[in-house]
Amino acid sequence: SEWSQTWNWIDGNWIEGNAPIMGTRTHAAWLGSSVFDGARAFEGVTPDLDLHCQRLNDSAVALGLNPVMKAGEMMELTQDGLSRFAPDTPVYVKPMYWAEGDGIGTIAGDASSTRFALCLFEAALAPKDAAITLTLSPFRRPTLETMPVNAKAGCLYPNNARAIVEAKSRGFDNAIVLDMLGNVAELTTANVFMVKDGAVHTPAWNGTFLNGITRQRIIKLLRDAGTEVYERTLGYGDFLDADEIFSTGNYNKVVPVKRIEDRELQPGPVAQRARDLYWEFAHG
């Protein structure tokens, strides 16, 4: 297939394209032991890159991998790699670890077999006026007892993929995914917020979804700007009844929802304020 411009740092070398890194007996390819993170370079800035690199190392530890790179080293490699792209190219920054080690009983491979790569690829940000449609997914988020939800682990994502594929099969862009108790957790690819009577509400982190770096950043920016933000238990009914809904994630930052099921929503002023605050922060 056709890949956008891609550069990878692997074992001390920069390699262009979709570089092969795994063998047929590699634990990660066979049994799913990989973790990654995703930051973004756009408009000449890479906001919260330090937090994304640190979260990669936390994800590695959660899965039993050995975080062999320091966050600062990953940040330096990122700056080095970005210089291979034209200035201001929007780039997805994906550092990753995986286990090379062998055999199903090793769970995540031998810690000393942990491998690292940094993959950078060109990827446009959603246009400023993008807005999405949402439905309710029939699939749910696992709990910490059933999957390593505290890691940004590759093995979680087939569940997200089937949720988005199912939503698209019914004509929606994305889906709200519930946790095992039936409360709203997140979207398939981003965190989710709602606005009611001027106040912002988002699910409280309960170990079932990714506590997004953009989520945490937006909560702080909105609060610092004087907007009330409540992290609490929310049901799907709360979202059906919301004045505004928006998503947050590193990939497209803040994106408003224009329809939930058959109810039209106006992309509203709070989502716009969240987006503006993020851009101000990013350009600091």
| 101: contact with ligand PMP by CB under 6 A | no
Shortest approach of ligand PMP to residue 279 CB, angstroms? 15
| 160: contact with ligand PMP by CB under 6 A | yes
Shortest approach of ligand PMP to residue 218 CB, angstroms? 9
Shortest approach of ligand PMP to residue 160 CB, angstroms? 5
Token pair of 167 as six digits:
């939503």
Nearer to ligand PMP, 100 or 123 (CB): 123
Contact stretch for ligand PMP (CB under 6 A) within 114-122, 219-227, 229-237, 243-251: 243-251
Q: Specify which residues 192 forms β-bridges with.
A: 247
Torsion (CA) 278, 231, 255, 271 in degrees, nearest 10 = -70
| 149: contact with ligand PMP by CB under 6 A | no
Q: What binding mask, one character per residue, do residues 185-224 give for ligand PMP by CB under 6 A, x or -?
A: -x--xxx------------------x-xxxx---------
Nearer to ligand PMP, 89 or 191 (CB): 191
Nearest-angstrom CA–CA distance, 216 and 225: 14
- 124-138 burial, b if ≥16 CB within 10 A, otherwise e? eeeeeeebbbbbbbe
Of the candidates 132, 125, 167, the one whose C-alpha atom is nearest the C-alpha of residue 39 is 125
Q: Specify which residues 75 forms β-bridges with.
A: none
Shortest approach of ligand PMP to residue 25 CB, angstroms? 28
| 249: contact with ligand PMP by CB under 6 A | yes
Query: In this structure, which amino acid lies at residue 211?
Result: N
**DSSP letter at 57?**
H
Query: In this structure, which amino acid lies at residue 168?
Result: K
**Do residues 194 and 237 touch, judged by C-beta distance below 8 A?**
no
Nearer to ligand PMP, 6 or 250 (CB): 250
Nearest-angstrom CA–CA distance, 194 and 263: 14
Contact stretch for ligand PMP (CB under 6 A) within 22-30, 77-85, 130-138, 247-255: 247-255
Which H or E run includes 54? helix 49-63
In the complex, which residues of this chain contact ligand PMP (CB under 6 A)?
38, 160, 186, 189-191, 210, 212-215, 248-250
